[in-house]
Structure 1
Amino acid sequence: MEKTVVPSTELDGDYDYIVVGAGSAGCVVANRLSTDRNSRVLVLEAGGNDNWIWFHIPVGYLFAIGNPRSDWMFETVKEAGLNGRSLKYPRGKVVGGSSAINAMISMRGQASDYDHWRQLGLIGWGWDDVRPVFKRLDDHFMGESEHHGVGGEWRVEPPGVRWDVLDSVAKAAVEMGIPMTPDFNTGDNTGVGYFHVNQKRGFRWSSARGFLKPVLHRANLRLETGVLVEKVLFDGKRAVGVRYRQHGRTIEARTKGEVILSAGAIGSPEILQRSGVGAAEWLSEFGISTVANRPGVGRNLQDHLQQRVIYRVHGTKTLNETYHSLIGRALMGLEYALFRRGPLTMAPSQLGIFTTSSPAFDRANIEFHVQPLSLDGFGDPLHRFPAITVSACNLRPTSRGTVRLRSADPLAKPVIAPGYLSTEEDRRVAADAIRVTRRLMKQEALRRFRPEEHIPGPSIDDSEAALAKAASDIGTTIFHPVGTAKMGLEHDTLAVVDRHLCVIGLNGLRVIDASVMPTITSGNTNTPTIMIADKGAQCVLSDAPYKLV
């Protein structure tokens, strides 16, 4: 039976901009584009509203990740580099996107990351170009400085709780020659210190809270939730609208300006492929006609893989014991209710360490996330013994993966194949990262806690083969997929968008989200995504392809 399509007249006519996705990037794009009161902006979000308490209490990530109310519940294929394991692949299913369920860690990466983008020919994306954008976005607790600003929409605060055992891990890092740092966001994040977090007065500060909700009163801005975008509509090579499903109906929305995909590193390539933009041979498998043969759509997937090493500790308190104590839980709740402090304000990781895995690297290439807790995996209960987790991830992996359609049905989950540990360099860095972890935990500052390696365990020796296998056994994502619609020059066959974030070979279509990163940034990726969104929106508003604001 032919489905009924509701025309865009039900949406009060054509829009100047249609933004697909109200996640980390889409909320920023919608905010910026709707500042022009003469422009009508329609935002389409596949998830629902953030009207659940665990979207706002920081520790709520424990309940949001792995919950179909808040998470798309994706999984990877069985990865050869992980000894045949498949990983859960959380993505936010709500206004605010993954910024509503993520680690809340405020991290820009390294100046060299962006200078590398400029060296690839992406003029306007070097460190000196993006640092002013980061600064104007800031509402930073450290105040106005060379690196930070105040008054922006992106709130940054210090952590609301400290742990004795983590203070000692920081001292152990210093004993290894890693300097203390009060701020990871100056362009060089080498050092050890407590992460700054996207929170405000004890509540999570998502992209929706910072950028979208404060402007939803604008008459020229319309948000629709529960929307599944089937495809972008084209007139020849020009995007003219989108077709989507909502509440059992199929609706077409039209634009006289641009369609902007901000559905993330998984969602944006999916929509492009369903729309006929992608590798022709991939599209033909599902009978999708090719509008633009862009082989890079869905390729170049990069992610940060961590080795979660767990240590039992003695003579100190960790969250494990408090979690399993009724009195402990009650006290945590009371402290939060009265003071907006304590363990309920905790990000998944509190202490960070950036260093090198070996002398072969001239800048920090691994990042530690150190937690005063341990568990088998997200969604599982905390262990009943006192323990800490010391996870190291490779900041600049050389492995590459793909995101592909499973079928032409928009309801079918994509095939996500990250390709973890598929290069010799990544396997070597993973093994070296475990060696660095073990050296850290043997420092004098930690002796009084008598740390005992629980995972991967003392039976795993320090040989290259043993550590490489251990890394494959315990490696897991820290949820930073990027690169699947990479920014690049026209002669780059894998480039999907140009430096203005316009899809190459098409008109009226841009991608503005983490998928455009040509290479992953050296740290947590949410704040760089916010920056890309702000900068990308300025490209749209300038409407001058020769000028990148």
Structure 2
Amino acid sequence: MDEFDYVIVGGGVAGCVVVNRLTEDPNVKVALLEFGTAGNNKRQIVRMPLGMVTFMMPNLAFLGGTKMMYLFEAEPSRGLGNTRMILPRGKALGGSSMVNGMIYIRGQKQDYDDWRDLGNPGWGYDDLLPYFKKSENFVLAENPDATRNFTLGGKPVRDQIDMRYHGRGGPVSVSPPRSPNSMCQTYFDAAVQAGYKLNADFNGEDQEGIGYHWLTQKDGERWGAESSYAGPAKSRPNLKIITEARALGIVMEGKRAVGVSYDVYGETKQIRARREVVLATGAFISPQLLMLSGIGSPRELKAQGIEVRHELVGVGRNLQDHIDTWTKQRALTNKTYGISWGTMHTNAMHVLKWFSSRRGMFTSNTGEAGGFVKSGPDVDRPDLQLFFCTTMASAQASDSFWGHGWAMHACLLRPKSIGHVGLKSASAYDAPLIAPNFFDNPYDMEILVRGMKIMRKIADQKAFDGHRGEEVAPGRHVQSDDDIAAYVRQNCMTMYHPTSTCKMGTDPMAVVSPATLLVHGLENLAIVDASVMPAVISGNTFAPTVAVAEKAADLIKARAKAGSPSLAA
């Protein structure tokens, strides 16, 4: 039986970070188990940012993107009229960073200070900022002239960045859109006309405003966790990566985690951990693996005939995710991305630009612009995230890319509806039960109705007059709050940011210790992924997950150096 100092379960974003940092010490042996495959960062469909639009389209499965996806199905949500929603996650080394929109957002300072004030000392904004900077290679810090001609509000973007908030030389390459669509400028002009300010850096002093998204790209290519963290570690002799390995459960000796049981190519094996087992399988799978191992709510475990090894009632509870809705507008011009007879030549030229210089449309995530706004005067900080997408098509809905137009999205940043993750069976081969409970709290719908009105307000400004065609969705006949709410229930999606199902804290529902990220009451078992966040942050979750994992790696190293037992504080 193989034995290592650390066994990391899950090669997603957090797992890649921890593996990289722990193997920096050549005297430490680390094994990584990942259910997906490795090496996807070398594939054109992944390297090409626009390739992401194919990953959830069944008719484009031959391109290979769908092989990198879990497509979990949620339980019916009463707030969605008892319909089910598909919940995609990345299934590959690099996790969801291999299939996401590459938007780099840290969240708001108050998000982390709220974590701290919920009973998690050491997790405030000032505590995590050094880890954001440590992990980042900000293009302007590396090369101040890289965005010489890149402007916002008529001023160079580089002159609007406070470099105190950014890092240089870290693994994560953070860059502006390489060839932004010209309609982004129209969107900015309209936003200003609607009364919103511009913001060149959502990760600086203040998140509020409208501007370009900064992206996890390098030289026009996707730069996910496989490229940034796992890749540099692969050649280290003290790391063993086992792919296409399905974790079945944690091997326990009493209250101590000593290894992991897993299936690889139909054969069940065990791998031992001398120091710690680290779960990094995300907000859906980490609680499932705990429960399959007899760790969780006795009621949940007994319902599936699982022996209770350790009672922790908070396992799987507190699920939080962002919910999003949209408008779609047909364009009178063909400046937005789409397929039409008049743009065949232009699109062919974009293909050549991609292969020759990594520029043009294929470097786009289609959501290059957006921002953060307050839904109303009764709100003290932004509670809506806006996206301006330079195409009407939606990969999630498998829409056609024929024709020209744009979509605007509004995402609820701090939902009050709370869900949970449970078990459908006692088998790791079955997906977990996922109940997001979207719109269970009416507050969430109220804010998204406000978001719909804000999107329309921006679209109605003079800047769009020469471009604005028919509002395809929801259609101008949808005006009352009740009608808008009915539309939203039928036209919404998760933004793929599930968190908080194994939250850190010291209250009765907490699963891991904030001082160590070790599971309460157990030895040698840590959790390092978005499931430990006490609450979802105000923005995309890639950057926060990296920061959590960077800090976690330091905590693990400190325990080893001090010879401290791997017990939750």
What TM-score do you get using the length of structure 1 for normalisation?
A: 0.94
- Per-residue CA distance 1:309-365 (angstroms, 9 max, x = gap): 111121342112369954344222101111101111111411012101111111111
The aligned counterpart of 1:493 is: 508
Cα distance in 2 between the residues matched to 1:254 and 1:29: 18
SS of equivalent to 1:253: strand
The aligned counterpart of 1:358 is: 376
Question: Per the alignment, do residues 87 and 348 of structure 1 end up closer, same or farther by CA in structure 2, a change over 3 Å counting?
Answer: farther
SS of equivalent to 1:213: helix
Deviates more, 1:324-333 or 1:419-428: 324-333
The aligned counterpart of 1:21 is: 10
CA drift of 1:58 comes to 1.1
Percent identity of equivalent pairs: 36
Q: Which runs of 5+ in 2 are unaligned?
A: 58-64, 143-162
Structure 2 contact 56–395 (Cα < 8 Å) conserved: no
The aligned counterpart of 1:48 is: 37
Amino acid at match of 1:39: V
Structure 1 residue 295 corresponds to structure 2 residue 313: yes
Structure 1 residue 117 corresponds to structure 2 residue 115: yes
Structure 1 residue 72 corresponds to structure 2 residue 89: no
- Per-residue CA distance 1:490-543 (angstroms, 9 max, x = gap): xx2221111021111111001000111111110111110011111111111111
Deviates more, 1:225-234 or 1:176-185: 176-185
Amino acid at match of 1:281: R
Structure 1 residue 417 corresponds to structure 2 residue 432: no
The aligned counterpart of 2:106 is: 108
The aligned counterpart of 2:298 is: 280
Structure 1 contact 190–354 (Cα < 8 Å) conserved: yes
Structure 1 residue 168 corresponds to structure 2 residue 183: no
Structure 1 contact 65–101 (Cα < 8 Å) conserved: no
Structure 1 residue 533 corresponds to structure 2 residue 549: yes
Q: Which runs of 5+ in 1 are unaligned?
A: 1-7
SS of equivalent to 1:73: strand
SS of equivalent to 2:67: coil
Question: Per the alignment, do residues 137 and 193 of structure 1 end up closer, same or farther by CA in structure 2, a change over 3 Å counting?
Answer: same
Match of 2:284 among 266, 270, 282: 266
Cα distance in 1 between the residues matched to 2:343 and 2:336: 12
SS of equivalent to 1:121: coil
- Per-residue CA distance 1:196-226 (angstroms, 9 max, x = gap): 1001112110101101111111111110000
Deviates more, 1:474-483 or 1:325-334: 325-334
Amino acid at match of 1:90: P
Match of 1:59 among 34, 38, 50: 50
Question: Per the alignment, do residues 527 and 85 of structure 1 end up closer, same or farther by CA in structure 2, a change over 3 Å counting?
Answer: same
CA drift of 1:452 comes to 2.8
CA drift of 1:384 comes to 2.5
Structure 1 contact 231–272 (Cα < 8 Å) conserved: yes
Cα distance in 2 between the residues matched to 1:316 and 1:69: 33
Cα distance in 1 between the residues matched to 2:80 and 2:449: 13
Question: Per the alignment, do residues 40 and 266 of structure 1 end up closer, same or farther by CA in structure 2, a change over 3 Å counting?
Answer: same
Cα distance in 1 between the residues matched to 2:220 and 2:405: 25
SS of equivalent to 1:534: helix
- Per-residue CA distance 1:147-206 (angstroms, 9 max, x = gap): 111111011111022223221111111122221111110142101111010011121101
Structure 2 contact 368–388 (Cα < 8 Å) conserved: yes
* Mapping for residues 319-468 of structure 1, pairs under 5 Å: 319-321=337-339, 326-378=344-396, 380-461=398-479, 463-468=480-485
CA drift of 1:250 comes to 0.5
Aligned length: 534
The aligned counterpart of 1:98 is: 96
Structure 2 contact 90–96 (Cα < 8 Å) conserved: yes
Question: Per the alignment, do residues 48 and 324 of structure 1 end up closer, same or farther by CA in structure 2, a change over 3 Å counting?
Answer: farther
Cα distance in 2 between the residues matched to 1:324 and 1:475: 32
The aligned counterpart of 1:473 is: 490
Structure 1 contact 373–382 (Cα < 8 Å) conserved: no
- Per-residue CA distance 1:400-458 (angstroms, 9 max, x = gap): 11112211121111221111111121111011111111111111221222343211111
The aligned counterpart of 1:4 is: none
The aligned counterpart of 1:30 is: 19
* Mapping for residues 308-327 of structure 1, pairs under 5 Å: 308-321=326-339, 326-327=344-345
* Mapping for residues 203-222 of structure 1, pairs under 5 Å: 203-222=221-240
- Per-residue CA distance 1:114-135 (angstroms, 9 max, x = gap): 0111111211111111011101
The aligned counterpart of 1:136 is: 134
Amino acid at match of 1:50: G
Question: Per the alignment, do residues 221 and 506 of structure 1 end up closer, same or farther by CA in structure 2, a change over 3 Å counting?
Answer: same
Amino acid at match of 2:47: H
The aligned counterpart of 1:510 is: 526
RMSD (Å), alpha carbons: 1.9
CA drift of 1:303 comes to 0.7
Cα distance in 1 between the residues matched to 2:426 and 2:72: 17
Cα distance in 1 between the residues matched to 2:341 and 2:38: 29
